[in-house]
C-alpha cells in the first residue's frame, strides 16, 4: 500500500456566489497563483534535495492509520530514492520512468515502469518542480478556512486527464508549503476510494551535490527480481 501511495507523490464543489463573494474568490485565486509561482521558482533553483519524511495513510474501512517514516533523496533530472526506515525497511528507486522497489526482508526487488504503476507520478513531479502544474492540474484554492504554516494558503490540485489510468482513483492533491522558503511541507493525496495518504517533510537540505551512486541500485546476491504488476489502484 505505502509504495503505491508514494508513487501516487503522486490529485470543490464551489459554493454559490453571492454579491461580494467574487472579490473574495479573486483574492484567494491571486494568493494561490502567487504561492504556485514561488513554489515553482524555488524548485527550478533546486538541483538536488535531501529530506526526512513521515507518512500517515488512512485506509477506508480500517480504524487506525498506517504510520511510516524515512528519508527521501531527489536529483534532477528524474531521479529519486525513497527509503522507508520505520517500521520496516523498503527502498524505492526512480530513474525517469524506471522503478525498482527493494524489500530486504523478502530478499526481493520489484521492477516496473512509473507510468504503468498505480495512481500517478504527481508527487515526484511536485518534489522535483519539473511539472508545469497548470498543464496537468486544475489549480485552485483549498475550500474552507484552513491555511498552512505561516498562514499561507493551501493549494488544491485536481488532475485534468481523468481518463488516464494513473488518475482514475485520484480525487485531488492538497499541497502545503513552508513559509519563506516555499519548499513543499506536506502533500495529501485523496483517492476516490476514500483512502488518504499524507506525506510531511522536514530537515530539508537542498543542493548538496548528491552523487549518482546514491540513486543507482545494485541488486544484492540471492535477491529475487520480480516484474511489478500493472495496477489501476492501490
Over residues 151-182, the pLDDT tens digits come to 899 988 887 765 555 556 778 889 999 999 99
CA distance 111 to 209: 27
CB of 72 within 8 A of CB of 83? yes
Over residues 207-225, the pLDDT tens digits come to 999 999 999 999 999 999 9
**Full DSSP string of 174-225:** EEEE-TTT--EEEEEEEETTS-EEEEEEEEEEE-----GGGG---PPTT-EE
Region 174-196: what's the mean pLDDT?
A: 90
* pLDDT for the residue numbered 95: 87
CA distance 92 to 7: 10
Q: For 2-9+22-215, CATH number? A: 2.50.20.10
Give pTM, 2 decimals: 0.81
Residue 20 has pLDDT above 50, yes or no: no
CB of 199 within 8 A of CB of 214? no
Q: Sketch the domain layout of the chain as residue ranges.
A: 2-9+22-215
pLDDT range class, residue 83, cuts 50, 70, 90: very high
* pLDDT for the residue numbered 17: 28
* pLDDT for the residue numbered 10: 33
pLDDT range class, residue 202, cuts 50, 70, 90: very high
CB of 10 within 8 A of CB of 126? yes
Closest alpha carbon to 110 in 232, 223, 6, 234? 223
Amino acid at each position: 500500500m505505502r509504495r503505491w501511495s508514494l508513487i501516487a507523490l503522486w490529485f470543490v464543489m464551489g459554493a454559490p456566489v453571492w454579491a461580494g463573494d467574487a472579490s473574495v474568490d479573486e483574492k484567494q485565486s491571486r494568493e494561490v497563483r502567487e504561492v504556485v509561482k514561488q513554489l515553482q521558482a524555488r524548485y527550478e533553483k533546486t538541483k538536488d534535495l535531501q529530506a526526512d519524511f513521515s507518512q500517515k495513510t488512512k485506509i477506508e474501512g480500517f480504524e487506525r492509520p498506517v504510520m511510516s517514516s524515512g528519508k527521501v533523496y531527489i536529483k534532477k533530472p528524474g531521479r529519486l530514492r525513497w527509503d522507508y526506515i520505520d517500521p520496516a525497511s523498503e527502498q524505492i528507486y526512480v530513474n525517469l520512468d524506471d522503478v525498482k522497489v527493494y524489500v530486504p526482508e523478502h530478499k526481493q526487488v520489484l521492477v516496473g515502469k512509473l507510468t504503468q504503476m498505480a495512481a500517478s507520478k504527481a508527487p515526484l513531479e511536485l518534489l522535483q518542480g519539473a511539472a508545469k502544474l497548470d498543464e496537468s492540474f486544475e489549480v485552485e484554492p483549498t475550500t474552507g478556512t484552513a491555511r498552512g504554516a505561516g498562514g499561507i494558503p493551501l493549494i488544491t490540485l485536481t488532475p485534468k486527464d481523468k481518463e488516464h489510468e494513473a488518475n482514475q482513483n485520484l480525487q485531488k492533491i492538497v499541497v502545503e508549503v513552508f513559509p519563506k522558503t516555499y519548499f513543499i511541507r506536506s502533500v495529501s493525496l485523496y483517492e476516490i476510494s476514500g483512502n488518504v495518504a499524507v506525506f510531511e517533510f522536514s530537515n530539508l537540505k537542498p543542493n548538496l551535490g548528491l552523487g549518482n551512486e546514491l540513486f543507482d541500485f545494485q541488486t544484492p546476491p540471492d535477491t529475487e527480481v520480480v516484474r511489478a504488476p500493472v495496477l489501476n489502484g492501490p
